[in-house]
Amino acid sequence: MYTETQILKDTTQTAANGSEGELVINVGPQHPATHGVLHLVITLNGETIKKVEPHLGYIHRSIEKMCESLTYRQFIYVTSRMDYLSAHINNHACAMTVEKAMQIEVPQRAQYIRVLMDELTRVASHELWWGAMAMDLGAFTPFFYAFRERETINEIMEETCGARLTMNYMVPGGVMADLHPDFVRKVKAFIQLFKDHIDEYDELVTGNVIFQNRMKGIGYLSKEDAISFGCSGPVARASGVNCDIRKLSPYEVYSQVEFDEVLQTEGDSFARYLVRIAEMKQSIRIIEQLIDGIPEGDFQAKTKAVLKLPKGEFYSRVETARGELGVYIVSEGGTTPYRIKFRSPGFSNLSALDHMVRGSKIGDLMATMGTLDLVIPDIDR
């Protein structure tokens, strides 16, 4: 963590080497608006941003290297600690890669449960983002509204999985345990709660003139640039890029449900905001279609206690709350992977930040960065 003396020293030295009239400031690595240990070195001319340099490494744990010494059952749960707000979906991607390699057929009941958990996770993640986004811009009340709904989801997760954030519920072949007897009833109650309160989000934030003035035209990212930077998820879809993995390459039972890929073409911060609000509604739509049709049967395929993947290279990808997560495994035929690589959405989305904010005011940085919805351990793994 930078002390005030270090920041002043670094700023003075950097400014002395820069152009006349430029000021270099440090935001982070510990700062409320970075939502994690992200360090930004920002070059300013007055209040206008000339350059933003993200500095990573403050929470690096070498997760990919750690996975090389873990079994194919164990490594799945390390990914809960990457994008911890999409833990279920991260685990899902890893389990799918192992199943693809071993040609394991997942029971229909398990597929339904997985998708339901994924979509509940997506809503919970977007709820937290919505509350934090408003708080970044000075509105504290929405944070409590967001956590009202999010807490209901956490309680549902806790009953079935035994945990609220890093659930460790997905296993190769299905899920670790069957649904809690109250799961269906409580999910239906949550759906009604969400529908009753979603209009309050628009009343409090979306339609607020001050909020719109802070967001519209800010942090513009064109469709071509979004593709060039490798952006995915709501960040890319707000620029008109079709990139929803659930549509492009459906997995589990996503091909059996009807939902829309939410797209905006404006490419600014407000467009990214609107995409996530609409995505929550689409997730509820998916959950409604599945909740009454969960088939009977096994929740997990029969697999060996110790898994050995055949020799080769295997890749699977899923749509997390922040975009495309890819899992790449190189196997030499043993019980542990030779190499694992994760393609996480946050790194590519962050790479576009400098391009998006150049020429804007320092006060607009928080709005732009907030709509990227960064989870730093997902980037700095």
Q: Are residues 40 and 166 in the same domain?
A: no
Write down the mean pLDDT value for the chain.
90
Phi, psi of 25 (to 5 degrees): -120, 155
Q: Are residues 20 and 111 in the same domain?
A: no
Per residue in 249-297, pLDDT (tens digit) is: 999 999 999 999 999 999 999 999 999 999 999 999 999 999 999 999 9
Q: Which two three-digit tokens encode residue 204?
A: 């409090």
Q: Examine residue 378 and state whether it is found in any structural domain, yes or no.
A: no
Q: Which two three-digit tokens encode residue 75?
A: 């490594």
In the predicted structure, residue 14 carries a pLDDT above the cut 80: no
pLDDT band at 29 (very low <50, low <70, confident <90, very high): confident
Q: Are residues 139 and 25 in the same domain?
A: no
Q: Examine residue 381 and state whether it is found in any structural domain, yes or no.
A: no
Is the pTM higher than 0.95? The answer reads: no
Mean pLDDT, to the nearest integer, of 211-221? Answer: 93
Query: Residue 295: which domain range?
Result: 66-370
Distance of CA 47 to the CA centre of its chain: 31
3-state secondary structure of 338: coil
Mean pLDDT, to the nearest integer, of 365-375? Answer: 91
Q: Examine residue 60 and state whether it is found in any structural domain, yes or no.
A: no
**First-to-final CA distance of the chain:** 18
Q: How far is CA 32 from CA 35, 54, 74, 76, 359, in A?
A: 6, 16, 33, 30, 23
In the predicted structure, residue 43 carries a pLDDT above the cut 90: yes
Q: Examine residue 380 and state whether it is found in any structural domain, yes or no.
A: no
pLDDT band at 20 (very low <50, low <70, confident <90, very high): low
CATH code for the domain in which residue 94 is found: 1.10.645.10
